[in-house]
Amino acid sequence: MNERKERINAKLIKLGKSLELDSLDTIKAKRTIRNVITMALFAGALILLGSIMMPGGPAGLYYTAVSIKDFRILFGGLF
Amino acid sequence: MLIKKYKPISVVWETTLNCNMNCMHCGSSAGTQRTKELTTNEGLDLCKDLNELGTKIISLMGGEALLRKDWNIFANNIRDLGMNVTVMSNGWLINEKTISELIKIEPYAVSVSIDGGKAKTHDTIRGLEGSFYRCIKSLELLIKANLPATVITTVHKQNFKELPLLRDFLLNKGIAWQIQMANAVGRFPKNLILSKEEFYSVALFIASCRKKYSIKELPIMGAHNFGYHSKILPDIMVLPWMGCQAGITALGIQSNGGIKGCLSLPDEFIEGNILNNKISDIWNNPNSFSYNRNFKKEELGEKCKECKYGNRCKGGCLTVSSSLTGKNHSDPYCLRLIEKEMIVI
């Protein structure tokens, strides 16, 4: 398990170097349990809205140039 | 029984193919306008029809959208109808006069394309000397006017290594940053497409920026061809990938009235023309946008068929898939697939 994890980390560090990422930043970029749960909740909400509103739900709203307003709406608490 | 109708909630409208730049990655090979581009009145009728269909946001795009003398008439009309409007520009024509128009319009976003961290790289890609500094000036004007500015960067082999330079420039400026991959459509040479490793490096870069900086410091995201369902990286799009939305909630309109589910799709995907049929007839035709509306898991490419997310994902970006493999629903630039092939050995 650890060997596999090390192999993944080594590959990521190599890939990150081409864009000047140091090894610490690269390893920190990996997903966390929190990321997984947050996105699962978002996906669940989209599926639910899609099933009661219209096919696709509001997914298409973010299908064009992103706006700073999108970040404020979706991640408002972080501003 | 509740009948759920498809709604084109997000529309990208190529108001003209006329362009003052000559970008090497342009998916629509823009330069000169199409024959029989929509007139002002036809454009205004289109906005009204889209509003009746349930559209929430219309993005005015080109070519260069600001080259149309009536761009502000369309933008004001869209806003007056209660929809959001986004203006997508190459930045060359954004000046004090444009800014005062934009302030009245209250756009949802104004995007400016920047394709390099160095002036020389950007100008070479855009085919117009001085365009990098015009973009910078445009962004300064937008920020000064408190308008919602976005930078869109299209990455390929000639510019992806300059992303750190661009990041340093955009830090703490309150500018949203969208990174997208150049596709093998239009006049973009196939040999300049990112390799899968380079593509993964860019995804890693976006993920790292999102972890290292707060949303306030650097609101960065990958466009919808930067997915999908990675086992290692967090989601780098704004929302989780719910499958290609072309013809589901998204719609693209060409300047001559041609209708596609997504403007980036090649012309084989044109469903009709609003000069021949009403847009509601094209949109509500049960045979339209069949590739997505009647999608079945069996249509997935070989590698996508094995994926547990296949049904929802529909094989990634249709434009990348069709342009690189000649088949729908089998986008080879998938983070999960790349991890399987190259990382999780």
**Could you report how far apart the first and last alpha carbons of chain B are, in Å?**
50
Instruction: Give every CB contact of residue B178 below 8 A, 6+ residues apart in sequence.
Output: A65, A66, B111, B150, B151, B152, B153, B220, B221, B222, B223
Looking at chain A, how many residues does it have?
79
Contact A56 B240 (CB under 8 A): no
Contact A59 B239 (CB under 8 A): yes
Instruction: Give every CB contact of residue B314 below 8 A, 6+ residues apart in sequence.
Output: B243, B244, B292, B295, B300, B329
pLDDT (tens, 9 = 90+) of chain B, 345 residues, equals 445 689 999 999 999 999 999 999 999 999 999 999 999 999 999 999 999 999 999 999 999 999 999 999 999 999 999 999 999 999 999 999 999 999 999 999 999 999 999 999 999 999 999 999 999 999 999 999 999 999 999 999 999 999 999 999 999 999 999 999 999 999 999 999 999 999 999 999 999 999 999 999 999 999 999 989 999 999 999 888 989 999 999 999 999 999 999 999 999 999 999 999 999 999 999 999 999 999 999 999 999 999 999 999 999 999 999 999 999 999 999 999 999 998 875
> What is this structure's pTM?
0.94
Instruction: Give every CB contact of residue B100 below 8 A, 6+ residues apart in sequence.
Output: none
Cα distance between residue B70 and residue B46, in whole Å: 14
Closest CA to B211 of A43, A12, A49: A12
ipTM: 0.87
Q: Which residues of A touch B249 (CB under 8 A)?
A: 54-61, 63
Q: Which residues of B touch A7 (CB under 8 A)?
A: 345
Which has more pLDDT, A76 or A68?
A68
Contact A56 B160 (CB under 8 A): no
Q: Which residues of B touch A31 (CB under 8 A)?
A: 207, 230, 232-234
